Amino acid sequence: MPPSPAAPLTIIVPTRNETANIHPLLSRLAAALKEIPFTVLFIDDSTDNTAQVIRDTAMTFPFPIQLIARPLAQHNGLSGAVVDGFRAAQGEWLCVMDADLQHPPEIIPVLLARAQEAEADVVVGSRKAGRWGPLGLSRKRALTSQALTLLARIWFPRLLKNVSDPLTGLFLVRQQAIDVEALRPDGFKILLEILIRCPGLRVSECHFNFANRHEGDSKADFREGMRFFRHLVRLRATANQSFPRLIVVTASSVVLDTAVFLLLAQSIPYWLAAIIAAELFIWLRFVVTEKWVLGGGHPVPGWPSWRRFWLRNQLSLLLVRLPLLALLFGLWQWPLLVAGLTAVLVEGGARYLMSEQWVFSRGGLSMWQPGLFRYDLHGLLHIESQVRLPELAYFETAQPLPHVDITLRVDRLGTPSPQPGAITYDERLSRFGFGVAIMPGEFTEIVISPALGHAPYALYKSVLEPVLRWALCRYECALVYGGCVARAGQAQLIVPEEDRGKTEMVLQLALTGSEFLADDFTILAADGRVYAFPKPVTVTPNVWRILGPQLALSRRQCWRLRIQNLLYSQSGRQSGLQLSQRRWPVATFNIYLQRLLPPPKIAITHLLPQVEIVPSASLTAVTALAADGRTLTALSAADAATWLHSRTQAAQGFPPYALLTEQLNQWHGADGRAVEQRIIEEALSVMREP
């Protein structure tokens, strides 16, 4: 039965001797895709009666099913079958999956939703993995998969750095995004072929649990492993036109470097000869690699790249070549030529890995994935993050999200690689510094450096909070500066004149009969409703002085808070902001400070267990808190709108907070400040007096 042209999704299933799996697969597809028109396209290379089973079974299902039974002469592996499926398929989206039910059909709607949200060209169904490899496999097969992934990443670190599982057999691809004629399939790993031969694809990921095989035997064996290795060699030699040039540069460098070393070693100490020879070729290698091998297409142009290139060479010289020469020639008395050549070759291998992983691509190797944390902000915003966010702990959920508005992931080992039009901030310290790339949209992707991933408080305040302020406006809500309490469903917003006293006032009111919503920022909807935003409370010395006896703190926590308050003082923050204006890497310094000692923050449920948090309330009053931290003045709706908007705009965090806020507000020519002001004015215009 031919596929329907109207179906937006075609599921391509390569089969080989899968008679027992056909009916269970189709049954689960029918159940999983009730609301989505789709076609199933089988590409069969079987030596049993699988093709006949497909024909017979197709009559019992209501959706279109097509079969391409390839003759033996056309059998060229799973990848070749998939490419034949690409040529025959119709529909905007093509989903490739195995027939053995190790790829759960229930994940397909998730892949399709992610593709549409992220405007992706490819959505990879990545097998959940641990340190040893994909979960759900035997230790031997998991280690094999991990080893093949490592090998692929070493050879293609730039193209594969944002894909945790490039060898998976489950993925969704936009038909128009791939050049089928450019593909040269061989073996099992068709996704790898697509990612290498069709560069520039926008890739997203969804992780899934790899199931046990339903029936039949796995087709993976040693022969397929060797076939994969040969295919990898062909890909490296043909897909990257600069690779032959890199071989020429590498070979020439080894010969010339060794020759100069031998010549100099005749008249000066061998270690000094090695240093002079190495330094002589650093600049030459950089220029030739940058201009001839890469054709000027370096992802990090200019002096930062040269700095990294030079530093990498110094490290390889001091840590690899000189110690190896001392061992081989100085201690073991190897011939100078053999020792020198060996040292140059070993150093070259180490330098290549550092160059690919740090200077030219800075990609990761392992397919291990960090945990995934989900946050549901009152059904308004849904966030997926590879980093646990203690500031949003109140909103954390274990349930799958209906959709994702913001996804936050850690770049595998280096500085984030942005998509075109991204908002970026990078303090030029690679994986060891502050780096972020934000791709705004209906589906907003935030990619951060590994160092930033270890400082969740800095991540939230400097990066995520500006994004939340911008994203909430799309849902007619504003994240406004001010604490909030409520009584009997009627909320009072407390907006301070200066950045102090607000938390103390809110907590005192919460301890005297009011319900708690927020002490720092509050979600205000255009219809006049406020939603709780209970971040961890910053326990300042003033909070301690006023509420100390009522705080549920142990002696150890008290001492820790005293030390934290010494480091996180108002004067220290101001000094940091001043240094940032002089272009010091203060955001990176803040990361390491927070890793050493986190800010003095404690969840209000732990700090004051007796306080009740209410999810939402109707706004009935806006009050201004005087600079003395004690006097509250009720504001009219008009005055409150002006006051609230000005104080919200003035609220800034540590760099790059202000930069990100400004660029997000101007994204695609919009005026985010005006939108936020309108939402505040509408909310206060319908504010009901108590």
DSSP element (H, E) containing 146: helix 139-155
CATH class of 9-238: alpha beta
Domain boundaries, the chain: 9-238, 243-360, 477-685
202-206, 287-291, 543-547: range with lowest mean pLDDT? 287-291
Task: Tell me if the bond preceding 656 is cis, omega within 30° of 0.
Answer: yes
Q: What percent of the chain has pLDDT over 70?
A: 84
Q: Indicate if the pLDDT at residue 567 is higher than 80.
A: no
DSSP line for 49-92: SHHHHHHHHHTTSSS-EEEEE--GGG--HHHHHHHHHHHH--SS
Which of 317-326, 536-545, 571-580 has the largest mean confidence?
Answer: 317-326
For the stretch 460-498, pLDDT in tens is 999 999 999 999 999 999 999 999 999 999 999 999 998
For the stretch 238-251, pLDDT in tens is 665 566 676 787 78
How high does pLDDT run on average in the chain?
84
57-66, 293-302, 404-413, 627-636: range with lowest mean pLDDT? 293-302
164-178, 298-312, 497-511, 639-653: range with lowest mean pLDDT? 298-312
pLDDT computed for residue 263 by the predictor? 94
pLDDT computed for residue 26 by the predictor? 96
CA 486/CA 616 separation, integer angstroms: 9
> At 148, is the pLDDT very low, low, confident or very high (cuts 50, 70, 90)?
confident
Q: CA distances (Å), 169 to each of 22, 85, 111, 188, 280, in order?
A: 17, 14, 13, 8, 47
For the stretch 569-620, pLDDT in tens is 665 555 655 655 656 788 888 898 888 888 889 999 888 999 999 999 999 9
Return the higher-pLDDT residue of 214 and 650. 650
For the stretch 329-379, pLDDT in tens is 999 999 999 999 999 999 887 776 655 444 444 434 555 566 789 999 999
Block residue for tokens 């996704």: 191
First and final C-alpha spacing in the chain = 68
Q: Is 0.75 surpassed by the pTM of this model?
A: no
pLDDT computed for residue 337 by the predictor? 93
